[in-house]
Amino acid sequence: MAPTDGSDADFLRHGALLTIDLGAIQENYRGLRARLRGAACAAVVKADGYGLGAAEVGPALARAGARDFFVALPCEGLALREALAGLEPAPRIFILNGFAAGLGTDFLAAGLIPVLNSLGQIAAWQDTARSAGAALPAAIHIDSGMSRLGLPPAELDALAGDPGRLDGLEPLLVMSHLACAEEAENPKNREQLDLFQAARARLPALPASFANSSGIFLGPGFHFDLARPGVALYGVNPTPGQPNPMAQVVRLQARILQIREIDAPTTVGYGAAFRAAGPTRIATVAAGYADGYLRSLSSCGTAFLAGIATPVVGRISMDLITLDVTQVPAERLHPGALVDLLQPGDGLDRLAEEAGTIGYEILTSLGRRYRRVYRSA
Ligand SMILES: *Cc1c(COP(=O)(O)O)cnc(C)c1O
């Protein structure tokens, strides 16, 4: 376990400590699965496990019982297959972005399952099956209102009119994706549900997958056979506006490098964007926009020291953040002291709001320069 007093040599080589609680991810997985009352629960680990490291997060989720994984890209699927090697039975790995001719060898070698998003992708995967001389598994994605990926209405008509278009394949799943699931009252949710059910009725009977994290909280009508949570596993609130039912997974602590006392009219940082109005104590902290502490947090982010909120003043630099720590007792202020860049409790959502973004982007922006420590249950 890494020390957190900021004084050991390895930590001194880094500016900040990112602690990822794998036990909390497992707790979140089990909590979501319990809400499904019988439907299975997959785990979405695209974008390197939402920035937290799919090679660590994937196996932890498998230990918690996950057997179905979704990633966006074939390269992510190949890496995840290695990370999950040795599990029996081998977990299913679905590739959300679909299949392209030329990738048959990769998909077959790693046992990746494409989410087929168009008739063209279906035909290309059929060609691969023909060459392989075997029925190949696939998920079929129906566009129910996202207009992004999945079979559009005309292609659904064509498929429904000619089920032979699935010959040579072993369809495992029909799926769709919600556009507004985090807004429980949005009528779009019901519209998409109706469209998805109507589409299912026109296709061969298959297990169905519909709900992302927030979709799970829309109720059992949205659960079907397999839910696909991502962000809630990592601690982001899937029910914005209501208390966060998920356990916090990440802690981000950065070191104070230097403290100085300034007075009016001294300015802080690039662009002289902050000007002291009176005696002010400034702590300079070792993280910046190069670490994913978004520049939009300039003059509006909040960090925490000894439980006290300390506002970001001036612009976020590439490697540095300046905080107004005037309210913090002097004995807590010294080079090497650790500042929480995420509020204990609900930090991802709070920081996202301050930055004008969503917890997803805070997570997937978390930097590569942090010293990363994984804590197991
Ligand atoms: C990213 C993604 C998910 C997971 O969504 P969360 O909101 O992170 O739970 C599920 N399904 C699809 C198709 C996705 O692209």
At residue 312, the pLDDT reads: 98
Handedness of CA 344, 14, 336, 255 (dihedral sign): negative
Helix (H) or strand (E) holding 106: helix 104-110
How many Å lie between the centroid of ligand 1 and the Cα of residue 173? 16
How many Å lie between the centroid of ligand 1 and the Cα of residue 180? 12
- The answer to whether 217 and 239 are in contact (CB under 8 A) is yes
Q: Classify residue 248 by its DSSP letter.
A: P
What distance in Å separates the CA atoms of residue 274 and residue 187, rounded to the nearest whole number? 44
- The catalytically annotated residue of 46, 289, 293, 370 is 46
- Whether 270 is a known active-site residue: answer yes
**Confidence check: pLDDT of 184 > 50:** yes
Mean pLDDT of all residues belonging to the chain: 96
**Confidence check: pLDDT of 61 > 50:** yes
The percentage of residues in the chain with a pLDDT greater than 70, rounded to a whole number, is: 98
- Whether 46 is a known active-site residue: answer yes
At residue 1, the pLDDT reads: 38
Nearest CA to ligand 1 atom 15: 96
Which whole number is the average pLDDT over 172-187? 98
Please count the helices (runs of H) and the strands (runs of E) in the chain.
Answer: 12, 19
Domains of the chain: 22-234 (3.20.20.10), 250-375 (2.40.37.10)
pLDDT per residue as tens digits for the range 237-275: 999 999 999 999 999 999 999 999 999 999 999 999 999
What distance in Å separates the CA atoms of residue 155 and residue 276, rounded to the nearest whole number? 62
Nearest CA to ligand 1 atom 13: 177
Q: Does ligand 1 lie within 6 Å of residue 6's CB atom?
A: no
pLDDT per residue as tens digits for the range 10-36: 788 899 999 999 999 999 999 999 999
Q: Does ligand 1 lie within 6 Å of residue 209's CB atom?
A: no
- The answer to whether 293 and 347 are in contact (CB under 8 A) is no
Q: Does ligand 1 lie within 6 Å of residue 96's CB atom?
A: yes
At residue 286, the pLDDT reads: 97
Q: Does ligand 1 lie within 6 Å of residue 229's CB atom?
A: yes
The confidence band for 9, taking pLDDT boundaries of 50, 70 and 90, is confident
The confidence band for 7, taking pLDDT boundaries of 50, 70 and 90, is low
The confidence band for 2, taking pLDDT boundaries of 50, 70 and 90, is very low
